[in-house]
Amino acid sequence: MNAKIAILLALVAVAVADSDEFRGYRAPQRKFSLLSHLAACPAASEESYESSEAQYNFQWAVDHDPSSNEYGHQEARDGDNTKGSYYVELPDGRVQNVAYYVNGDSGYIADVTYTGSAESFESDESNESFRYYGSNESK
């Protein structure tokens, strides 16, 4: 009797495993028709969008004393002409200032200056040099 139950359970397991419901994930089936999609879009000749000249102006700055981060950026653009500047406090205490502009296709023209003086600081790193010997060398 136990053998009959085991065979019956095995047949049920095979039947369940063979059903479509348990064959794993399948991607959802969508019916997509390019013609119906194109029919829903307005024709290009109905409306014309002309691109306008780029025009913007922005400015931001970060001054975070706990992390000693100080930097900022500002820029203004009107059509093909762009003018801006940014600054950053360097690890040696100086501030690097970059002023730039672009006129048409000229590319970026930058003027880089530094304010303050570089401060040296004591390092905790070792200045010792080490010699590493290869396997054929002796000490």
Label residues 86-100 b or e (16+ Cβ within 10 Å = b).
Answer: bbebeeeebeeeeeb
State pTM to two decimals.
0.51
50 located within any domain: no
The pLDDT, as a whole number, for residue 23 is 59
97-135 pLDDT per residue, tens = 999 999 988 899 999 999 999 887 776 676 676 666 666
139 located within any domain: no
54-89 pLDDT per residue, tens = 999 999 999 988 888 889 999 999 999 999 999 999
**Integer Cα distance of 91 and 67 in angstroms:** 11
Domain with 109 in it: 55-115
19 located within any domain: no
**Integer Cα distance of 57 and 43 in angstroms:** 35
Q: How many domains does the chain have?
A: 1
70 located within any domain: yes
